[in-house]
Amino acid sequence: MAETPDALEAFRAKARTWIAEHFPPSLTGRAAAVMAGETLDAAETEALAWGRRLGEQGWATPTWPAEYGGGGLSQLEAQVLNQELDAAGAFNPLIRTTGMGITMVGPTILEYGTEAQKKRHIPRICRGEVFWSLGYSEPNAGSDLASLATRAEDAGDHWVVNGQKTWTSGADVSDWCGVLVRTDPDAPKRDGISFLMIDMDQPGIETRPIRLIGGASPFCETFFNDARAEKDEMLGELNAGWTVGKRLLQHERASQTGATSGMGGGPRRSLGEVAKRYVGTDDAGRLADADLRGRLADHLMEAKAHGLTLARIAAEARGNAKVSAAASILKNAASRVAQQRAELTLEIMGHQGLGWEGEGFEREELVAVRTWLSGKAMSIYGGSFEIQNNIIAKNILGLPENTQRG
């Protein structure tokens, strides 16, 4: 489809009409609660039904090839779709209900998978029928991921997997897990790793949720005890999993830049409005606290600059968006902006921003506290702030390698 202004406006009208016909009005503005899994049964049921409609249309994965169940849209058309979702207060619940499927695993399968693997896995992700987790970090292999010890041994017609992973988000509810395993213990550590896609419904896998400071348990310890992985479920070539795994991490970082498609949900209350409510205004209608006013202005400018940068990169892609090391810059910037907002929100709320539960606190205040606590992990997961700086230094600035090569 030609991306002329008229063609894009015609698509906008089509998207707006379809959303109006299929999005449940009762879910308007409920994106945050639904995506966090904090809705009541009725809202959850409606969200799942809405997700199915979106998936059947292909618009839960708008730029993925239509032959595998995606929308087949260009990047600019996808932007228009997301604008219309947001304008309607709508969102893409399949980003949550597929786990790592839409943001990380699916794009990697599309790049490295065989035709059979694409046909087997991608349509189910597009329709929201499968939840994916990822087995990367281990107790002794965090930032130095290449030190991983989980091994896969050739058993003829399948692989036998033994070892332990940690911080495996959603492993306790996942259907499939993408796991980095050691398949050649004698090779240099980056050269002996493979990427296996493992069916989680088997007795050889045990998961134990890890409770976090924010109150939720999105992470797990995962134990593989003679678990089975089929021979045709290796993504990429044997002992070439380090390349596949790094590419997947680029997709993860891209999903954490603030540009993830389909979050929608309409505009949230501005930080300025929150500040005026809790801090008050002077005779000129400005925030009464001049120091806070200045720091809030600095934050809003940084957030606006980040948003404009994301929009510029998307526009420059012109339908050929590629994930690169630049995602590390955007990931760090997004983490900083989100953490600054959370810090300012609690400061603005004062003692009302210190609640954990109870009748003395409004829902918005309790969410602010939990958001502040859970947001501390943003600069750690998906590759820490420092790891991203190393990537930026090496792959963007061209600075020399200061550790081992690879």
- AA letter at 190: R
Q: What residues contact 346, with CB distance under 8 A and at least 6 apart?
A: 353, 354, 368, 369, 372
Question: One of 252, 343, 359, 386 is an active-site residue; which one?
Answer: 252
Token pair 């940690």 is found at: 166
Ramachandran assignment for 285, one of left (phi > 0), alpha (psi -120 to 50 degrees), beta (any other): left
- Residue in 35, 65, 32 with CA at minimum distance from that of residue 48: 35
Tell me whether residue 252 is one of the annotated catalytic residues: yes
Q: Are strands 132-135 and 176-182 parallel, antiparallel or unpaired?
A: parallel
Q: How far is the C-alpha of 46 from the C-alpha of 28, rounded, in Å?
A: 11
Which residues, at least 6 apart from 283, have a Cβ–Cβ distance to it below 8 Å? none
* 118, two tokens: 């694409």
Taking each continuous run of H as one helix and of E as one strand, the counts in the chain are 13, 8
For 11, phi then psi, to 5°, come to: -65, -40
Other CB atoms within a 10 A radius of the CB of residue 96 amount to 19
Give me the active site residues, please.
Answer: 252
